């Protein structure tokens, strides 16, 4: 499809700077821009490319002021990053929507399906499952007994949603995710053998949650593992039994949260963050990549880095010292030698004077 710069600006409530009639029919990266495409600038690191890009239209923030002439037509918007996402969503909406239930799918007689549902081939929907309106369940997926999936959610291929779990409205669950596998519950006996503790709870996902590919959210031992509204979970994330994640928290790839920990609202967990069990993490906490958390975080809005985690300012100052440790160690060895030499010299003079 083809759109003019003015049509795009009208859709985004933006302002055109340049040729409002120029048309585009595709997207491109700003550094690889081509004629007929639209791109965007939001990260200052890519600023030099706006003067050389071959893209015809560039979305920029309203406060952008060029240092020299820009050949592309600009569309100024409140947030270029958000605006490009809105355009991607518009393009996605034009794609044909799949509907209907494949003849190769299995749907239990007691399951209840809403209107305009899509169920792909080799998908299984178990007894007493409840599937809301406009839900899309792609092939090779297992929806177990007593699962509830609310309206407008999308479940991609090879997902497993286990017994009794609840998926909120407008969720997106990507391929390979497992919702509601048993939590890691074992009790050692007198001989040191581990005996399994049955996990009889479930997982409850709020509305507008996204779960990345191959991520796992374990069912609760008792009660529910709870993922709040608007939570975004990246690929390869592990969330253990009875964890509670507050609304609108974002968790990046390879992070892991141990059992019964409560993470607050609007938190950010960067890649490979690890949080020990039975902890409370305050609202708006930010944990930098590979942070390891072993104690409660009680004050809101703090930023941490390192393992064990320390305030990010301390971590940065410590990082400077880490780099200097080999040189500092060499200096310590040299100082020890000098001290020993001075002590030996002092003892020699002491012996001479005593004689």
> Which residue ranges does the chain devote to CATH 2.160.10.10?
101-311
Q: Which residues of 318-329 are buried (b: 16+ CB within 10 A; e: fewer)?
A: eeeeeeeeeeee
Q: Are 179 and 162 in contact (CB under 8 A)?
A: yes
Backbone angles phi, psi at 128, to 5 degrees: 60, 15
Q: For 273-324, how does the pLDDT look when each residue is reduced to its tens digit (9 = 90+)?
A: 999 999 999 999 999 999 999 999 999 999 999 999 989 988 888 888 888 8
Q: Give the pLDDT of residue 258.
A: 98
- The Cα–Cα gap between 132 and 140 comes to 19
Count of CB atoms situated within 10 Å of the CB of 116: 15
Q: Give the pLDDT of residue 116.
A: 95
Q: Are strands 232-233 and 210-211 parallel, antiparallel or unpaired?
A: parallel
The residue count of the chain comes to 355
Which of helix, strand or coil describes residue 41?
Answer: coil
Q: Which residues of 340-353 are buried (b: 16+ CB within 10 A; e: fewer)?
A: eeeeeeeeeeeeee
- The Cα–Cα gap between 240 and 221 comes to 10
Q: Are 288 and 274 in contact (CB under 8 A)?
A: no
> Which residue ranges does the chain devote to CATH 3.40.1390.10?
3-93
Backbone angles phi, psi at 305, to 5 degrees: -150, 160
Backbone angles phi, psi at 336, to 5 degrees: -60, -40
Q: Which two tokens stand for residue 298?
A: 């009680």
Q: Give the pLDDT of residue 275.
A: 98
- The Cα–Cα gap between 251 and 215 comes to 11
CATH superfamily of 3-93: MurE/MurF, N-terminal domain (3.40.1390.10)
225 closest CA partner among 151, 275, 152, 164: 164
- The Cα–Cα gap between 202 and 161 comes to 10
Separation in Å, CA 264 to CA 3, 174, 179, 224, 295: 42, 24, 21, 16, 14
What is 101-311's CATH number?
A: 2.160.10.10
Of the listed 32, 138, 174, 241, which one is catalytic? 241
Q: Which residues of 58-90 are buried (b: 16+ CB within 10 A; e: fewer)?
A: bbbbeebeeeeebebbbbbbeebeebbeebeee
Q: Give the pLDDT of residue 355.
A: 62
Residue 138: active-site member: no
Q: Angle between the 80-93 and 5-12 helix axes, to the nearest 10 degrees? A: 100
CB-count exposure of residue 187 (10 Å: 0-12, 13-18, 19+): exposed
pTM of the model: 0.86
Q: Are 139 and 177 in contact (CB under 8 A)?
A: no
Separation in Å, CA 151 to CA 36, 135, 179, 255, 324: 37, 6, 18, 29, 57
| Residues of the chain falling short of pLDDT 70 | 353, 355
Q: For 130-171, how does the pLDDT look when each residue is reduced to its tens digit (9 = 90+)?
A: 999 999 999 999 999 999 999 999 999 999 999 999 999 999
């Amino acid at each position: 499809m083809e759109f003019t710069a003015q049509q795009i600006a009208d859709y985004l409530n933006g302002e055109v700077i340049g040729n409002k009639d120029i048309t585009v029919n595709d997207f491109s990266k700003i550094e690889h821009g081509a004629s007929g495409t639209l791109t965007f600038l939001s990260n200052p690191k890519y600023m030099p490319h706006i003067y050389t890009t071959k893209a015809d239209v560039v979305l920029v923030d309203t406060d952008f002021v060029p240092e020299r002439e820009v050949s592309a037509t600009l569309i100024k918007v409140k947030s270029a990053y958000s605006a490009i996402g809105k355009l991607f969503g518009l393009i996605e909406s034009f794609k044909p929507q799949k509907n209907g239930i494949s003849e190769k799918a299995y749907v239990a007689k007691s399951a209840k399906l809403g209107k305009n549902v899509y169920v792909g081939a080799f998908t299984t929907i178990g007894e007493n499952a409840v599937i809301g309106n406009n839900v899309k369940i792609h092939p090779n997926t297992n929806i177990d007994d007593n699962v509830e999936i609310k309206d407008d959610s999308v479940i991609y291929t090879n997902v497993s949603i286990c017994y009794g779990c609840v998926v909120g409205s407008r969720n997106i669950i990507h391929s390979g995710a497992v919702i509601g596998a048993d939590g890691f519950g074992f009790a050692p006996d007198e001989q040191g053998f581990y005996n399994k503790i049955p996990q009889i709870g479930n997982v409850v996902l709020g509305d507008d949650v996204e779960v990345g590919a191959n991520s796992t959210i374990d069912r609760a031992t008792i009660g529910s593992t709870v993922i709040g509204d608007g939570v975004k979970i990246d690929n390869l994330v592990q969330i253990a039994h009875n964890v509670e994640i507050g609304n609108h928290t974002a968790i990046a790839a390879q992070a892991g949260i141990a059992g019964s920990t409560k993470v607050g609202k609007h938190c950010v967990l960067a890649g490979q963050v690890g949080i020990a069990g039975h902890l409370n993490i305050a609202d708006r906490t930010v944990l930098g990549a590979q942070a390891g958390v072993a104690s409660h975080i009680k004050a809101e809005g703090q930023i941490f880095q390192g393992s064990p985690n320390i305030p990010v300012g301390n971590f940065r100052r410590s990082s400077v010292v880490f780099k200097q440790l080999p040189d500092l160690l060499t200096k310590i060895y040299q100082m020890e030698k000098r001290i020993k030499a001075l002590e030996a010299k002092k003892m020699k003079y002491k012996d001479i004077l005593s004689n």
